[in-house]
Structure 1
Amino acid sequence: MMSFISLKTSMIGATAICLSMAITHESKADAASCPSPIPLGLTTALTGNLALLGTQARNGVEFAVDEINAGGGISGKKLALTTEDTGASSTDALNAMNRILEGKPLVIFGSMISPHVFAQTDVVTKSETPFLVGATNAKVTAQGSKWLFRTHVHDGQLADLIPEYLVKSLGKTRPGIMAVADDYGLGASKGIQASLAKLKVSPVAVTSYAPSDKDMSAQLLEIKDKDADSLILFGRPADVTLVVKQMGDLGIKLTTIGNSSIVAQTTLNNLSAAEADGTYAIGGMIPQTSTDAKILDWSKRVQEKYKVPADNFTVSYYDTVHMLKSIIEKVGCDKPAIRDALAATRDWKGMLISYQADARGDLAHTLGIYRNKGKTPELAGPIKENGY
């Protein structure tokens, strides 16, 4: 559906939430040559079992578009966002992308669901449209597309940092691994096993579950029976919630660490304080742990609008729209120029991290280490990808 997004202007201060860069007279002229409105596309899961995640992409993109339009747009041109629901199917994701492409958008935002992005990349690349995604499978940016950029941290980073923190900081050497059985989870599991091997640690059990599974007790009991001292858990909020609950039901107490689903508010809302307490996550930075009043206010306003808390993906997609705004202000609405500007991004300051493009098209290299205190995630500290 086509929507001309407008909302009250958010003046969120000097912490880079405003995120607009100074514009020269020449860049204003470039942006002034853009069409009115400036067409943008978004495909994400709004229904089905991936909707808890997919709506965060919508919320982040839409909230930023609202702000920009309320502030007068870009050189007076409003942004027009067209959103298509992918559901849970990769086939449906491709069909949704084809519908988006019919509208000839200037830029397309793809979701954080890796199988969907894999299904869409070829057709978007052939259209020569900048494609900005949050999908976390490390191989997403290894497809050889010069049009695809990722603005969220990825599982390759987590696959290195989670084992390192578990072994070196938490002192655990007998982990079990449990991951959702799709490109997202199995790719992460493979990377985690390789990183553990570099640390001379062998997992006592490597298990997985289907995205639609509701009973993970067999996998949990296998890990327990093999005398694990910890659990590395990789999944999405809905299934991570089930795993943590079933650990409690089975009386299994293991140091548990995984991706940011463990500290996602959509997970914590469905766990008791006792179930959530003490679990660890490494992942994208989440706004609720910030001490900056302006960021906490932004998070509150997002929750008031969408009735769900902002998470790391909301922040990433919000930042991405404002990054795009700053690029259009400089280079106008020429697709190759936008692509080149994305590839040249250096130290672009977002809400919680700075973005820097590498040769693959990855722009996010700073992650957070979190520990749940009851149902409240606490930031133990930032951690950066090696080399950054």
Structure 2
Amino acid sequence: MVNKEYESDIQRREKMHKKILIAALILGMVLTACGPAVQEQTTQEIPTEQPTQLAATESTQATTEPTQAATVPDTIKIGFVAPLTTANALMGWSMQQGAQLAAQEINDAGGINGVPLELIIEDNSNTADVAVNAINRVLSENPVALILGSTSAQTLAMEPIILENTLPTIIMGSSPSLTDQGNPWVFATRADDGFAATAAVKFAVEDLGAKKVGIFHAAEEFGTSVAPIIISALAEYGLEPAAVVSAPSTDKDYSAQLLELQAADVDVILVWVLPAPGILLARQMKQLGMDTPVVANPVFGLSQVLVLMTPEELAGIYSMTDCVPSQSTDEKILAFVQAYKDRTGTTPDLFGALSYDSVKLFADVITQVGTDLAAIQAGLFAVTGWPGVCHNYSFDAKGRGGYDISTVDISTGTLKVVGTVSK
């Protein structure tokens, strides 16, 4: 059932080119740290599995009745904004592949109630200004829902527009602030960074025996917001960070920060950065002769990141991640893994899985309630235990729906789960 605190609001508003091509593209980004180019809008209709059944819950069907539209649309449009260029393009590529795979499967099975699904794809270029322009271009196409693969800073810049347009939106940003804005149209599918950072500290102290912890975080919002959480979590163990350093994601040289951490004689480094900086950071640590274990955010859990790193660079790195679909024993999840591999030639990471889930979840809700915006919002709040490939989703009063974090060892070049924490 829709949370009561939102009732009044609801009533008020209604593949991959071959892997070497990907690696070449990404390597170019890593060598340049990030590029300024912005892709043009990719508005595409995906010829597109049969819709996944809504969660094993009666609440969605019981609390929302299908809304009959006055006219049947030619397509049902879902907006998709993600970082397809610059420092976060590794994540954006995975997101786009997952979303397009889901749309293809839905349309191959007949669409949503017989209507084709169309993804309206825009690049946010990993900047707030471009993100705002991207969402406005998407809105000009009159979508009934929106998926944001943007990082936290870009998502925050778009939230007022989402609120003003009362558009049901699923986000993949993980800053706790994203669901603390009081925006009832935003639904987060990832476990937030507060939970992930606390789990990272727990692993560093309890499993790695850390006593002198260093922190390296991005200077942008998603990094600065997590540093106090890490410090607070360390305090629970009677520890203070031995050193805290940061750098903009556009930087190429992290030697000053690494030397500071080295001088502090840290025994574990907690890292919260973007993919391209993460690769550079690991590489420069080895160049400086540092073999300190690293416990990081999901940056090192991306398959495209792993193929660009040497065994030496991978040694001693652990990554926190929402899910590792390839290690599942669930037939539905393994079918997704195979379909993603067939499409891209790579193993799906959490961002490909999250995007896939987001499209499928919207499709299932729209199948049940129609395309009225308030009905879709209510349908999302009513979801309980919806079985995705990354999480089983249930949204709380703030729209938070991801509750699991796994720690993976990447030293062998694959993701080996060494622990999982659930809320």
Global fold match (TM > 0.5): yes
In the TM superposition, residue 48 of structure 1 has moved relative to its aligned partner by: 2.0
> Do the aligned partners of residues 275 and 319 (structure 1) sit closer, same or farther apart at CA in structure 2, a change above 3 Å counting?
same
**Residue 96 of structure 2 aligns to which amino acid in structure 1?**
R
**Residue 153 of structure 2 aligns to which amino acid in structure 1?**
P
**Residue 334 of structure 1 aligns to which amino acid in structure 2?**
D
What's the CA shift string for 1:55-103, capped at 9, x where partnerless? Answer: 2222221111111001001111111111111112210110111111111
Question: Which residue number in structure 1 is paired with residue 380 of structure 2?
Answer: 342
Kept after mapping to 2: 8 A contact 1:5/1:65: yes
1:19 aligns with 2:19: no
What's the CA shift string for 1:112-137, capped at 9, x where partnerless? Answer: 31111111110111001101110111
Task: Say how many residue pairs are matched.
Answer: 377
Correspondence 1:338-377 to 2 at 5 A: 338-377=376-415
1:136 aligns with 2:174: yes
1:176 aligns with 2:214: yes
Correspondence 1:201-220 to 2 at 5 A: 201-220=239-258
In the TM superposition, residue 297 of structure 1 has moved relative to its aligned partner by: 4.9
Unaligned stretches of 5+ residues in structure 1: 11-17
Question: Which residue number in structure 2 is paired with residue 4 of structure 1?
Answer: 45
The counterpart of 2:153, out of the listed 115, 118, 124, is 115
Matches of 2:114 and 2:173, distance apart in 1: 32
Matches of 2:331 and 2:153, distance apart in 1: 37
| 3-state SS in 1 of match to 2:415 | strand
The counterpart of 1:330, out of the listed 368, 388, 407, is 368
Q: Mean Cα displacement is larger for which, 157-166 or 91-100? A: 157-166
> Do the aligned partners of residues 358 and 131 (structure 1) sit closer, same or farther apart at CA in structure 2, a change above 3 Å counting?
same
1:222 aligns with 2:222: no
The counterpart of 2:305, out of the listed 251, 267, 274, is 267
Question: Which residue number in structure 2 is paired with residue 313 of structure 1?
Answer: 351
In the TM superposition, residue 32 of structure 1 has moved relative to its aligned partner by: 7.7
Q: Report percent identity of matched pairs.
A: 29
Matches of 1:239 and 1:221, distance apart in 2: 16
Correspondence 1:267-306 to 2 at 5 A: 267-292=305-330, 295-306=333-344
Question: Which residue number in structure 2 is paired with residue 239 of structure 1?
Answer: 277
Matches of 2:66 and 2:391, distance apart in 1: 30
The counterpart of 1:163, out of the listed 168, 193, 201, is 201
**Residue 6 of structure 1 aligns to which amino acid in structure 2?**
P
Correspondence 1:16-55 to 2 at 5 A: 19-21=52-54, 30=67, 35-55=73-93
Query: What TM-score comes out, normalization by structure 1 length?
Result: 0.91
In the TM superposition, residue 324 of structure 1 has moved relative to its aligned partner by: 1.3
Unaligned stretches of 5+ residues in structure 2: 1-41
Kept after mapping to 1: 8 A contact 2:66/2:368: no
**Residue 53 of structure 1 aligns to which amino acid in structure 2?**
M
Matches of 2:126 and 2:420, distance apart in 1: 32
Matches of 1:178 and 1:39, distance apart in 2: 40
In the TM superposition, residue 144 of structure 1 has moved relative to its aligned partner by: 1.1
Matches of 2:296 and 2:124, distance apart in 1: 26
Question: Which residue number in structure 1 is paired with residue 30 of structure 2?
Answer: none
Q: Mean Cα displacement is larger for which, 93-102 or 29-38? A: 29-38
The counterpart of 1:64, out of the listed 79, 85, 102, is 102
Matches of 1:126 and 1:69, distance apart in 2: 30
Matches of 1:370 and 1:328, distance apart in 2: 35
Matches of 2:85 and 2:210, distance apart in 1: 39
In the TM superposition, residue 210 of structure 1 has moved relative to its aligned partner by: 1.1
Which fold has the larger relative contact order, with Cα–Cα distance below 8 Å and residues 6 or more apart in sequence?
2
| 3-state SS in 1 of match to 2:159 | helix
Kept after mapping to 2: 8 A contact 1:32/1:75: no
In the TM superposition, residue 281 of structure 1 has moved relative to its aligned partner by: 1.5
**Residue 5 of structure 1 aligns to which amino acid in structure 2?**
I
What's the CA shift string for 1:127-173, capped at 9, x where partnerless? Answer: 01101110111101111111011112221111211112211222112
| 3-state SS in 2 of match to 1:50 | helix
Q: Mean Cα displacement is larger for which, 136-145 or 302-311? A: 302-311
Kept after mapping to 2: 8 A contact 1:60/1:316: yes
- Superposed CA RMSD in Å reads 2.3
